[in-house]
Amino acid sequence: MDRSVQVVMMYILTHLGLIFFLYPSNIIESTDQGHWIPISLGIVIHIIFVLVYLKGLSFFPRRNIIMIYSSFGKVYLILFLLPIFLYFISAVTITVRAYSEILTIIFLANTPLWAVMALLLFIPFFLAIQGVQAIFRTGILVSFLFLPFLVFILIVSFQNVDASYIYPLWNNDFSFMTKQSYINSFFAISGGFLFLGFIQPEISYKHKKIVIAFAAVVPAFILSVYIPLLTFGKATAETFLFPFVLALDTITLSWIMFDRATVFFLLSLITFIMLFISLVLWKASIIIHHSLPSIKPVYIVVSLTFVIYIACLLIPNWQQVQMLFKWNSVLRFYVLLTVPLSIYFLGHLSKKKVY
């Protein structure tokens, strides 16, 4: 059964959750002008590697990347699956810790951080033990509940923009490519699409329909940066840790039922992040289950959740979170580069053997 709609929705939701919080500040910090250049570069890299990844997967119908690497021997399992697993664990740890900090700053100033982190992990844990089918069904429900309001908020967010802040458009300085803030922005670009190689054969989809997900996600990358830039200007926007959130706070809508539309918008994004965490937990668990098939997946998810929660508790402050982003960059780019390319070349190799 074709479930392309579920896959497209999950792709959109997980990327939206990753984009609108930390990505804007990373891009704004990376350059003084012409912010569309680093944004466009990241988008192009994202699309190229997703297309390469999908092309490689097309050589292996109804097989996930664990099956693919396993068929080529243990060396490939160690060389690719081990870094993927480590990346998943570090990504969930960073996501839970960073977004817990965001929640305490914006919503829950009097709530202990350990309680917020427990909440952010408990719901994804519950979804992960239900399996990938439950995660994707939840994604469809969440999309119907929250996406229309999110689109509405993005439209009205242009209420206070000043078009003059868009200039200058060109920047001859490409040093942003080596800045840590720009490297950190790839957290929203490189990790969200890997699930496309894990869900088959449980969930089948048409690769061509992922183009719809591209079309939906690309404006989000642009708007998340340019709405705060056009609202506050570069000099002011770069002083904010969450510039997009503060830009939404400037919206005045007295005729809607919410006093602060920002609150509902951010709660929607937190829901998307929970879907992302549950999906990554599930992917990490099936990697371990492949290596240790005697252990039930539910016990693996429980163990992973406990380890990640302890790791989050050991991170003392935001400075350490930023340091983790920096350390995670090596795994992030290794996975971004090697996984799509390896699947593509292994696909070509298998095709030649068939002929």
pLDDT of residue 355: 43
What does each of the 355 residues of the chain score in pLDDT, given as a tens digit? 677 888 888 898 888 888 887 888 888 888 888 888 889 988 999 889 999 998 888 888 888 888 888 888 788 888 888 888 999 998 889 888 888 888 887 777 777 888 888 888 888 888 889 888 888 888 888 888 888 888 888 888 887 787 887 877 777 777 778 888 888 888 888 878 888 888 888 888 888 888 888 888 888 898 888 888 888 888 888 888 788 888 887 777 666 655 566 777 888 888 888 999 999 999 999 999 888 888 888 899 899 999 999 988 888 887 888 888 888 888 888 888 888 899 988 888 877 665 4
Report the half-sphere exposure of 184 (CA within 13 A, side-chain side): 23
Hey, what CATH topology would domain 4-354 get? Amino acid/polyamine transporter I (1.20.1740)
| Gap between the Cα atoms of 82 and 240, Å rounded | 37
The size of the chain, in residues, is 355
Alpha helices in 107-179 (DSSP H): 113-130, 132-156
Residue 1: predicted pLDDT: 64
3-state secondary structure of 12: helix
d(CA 172, CA 182) in angstroms, rounded, equals 16
311's tokens: 């790791």
Q: What DSSP designation does 316 have?
A: -
Of the CA atoms within 13 Å of residue 280, those in its CB half-sphere come to 28
> The tokens of 27 are what?
């891009």
The pLDDT, as a whole number, for residue 306 is: 92
Structure tokens at 13: 């939701």
pLDDT at residue 152, rounded to an integer: 82
124 contacts: CB under 8 Å, gap ≥ 6: 274, 275, 277, 278, 281
In the block, tokens 């983790």 appear at: 324
pTM of the model: 0.91
The counts of H helices and E strands in the chain are: 16, 0
Please name every residue paired with 204 in a beta bridge, in sequence order, or none if there are none.
2
Specify which residues 2 forms β-bridges with: 204
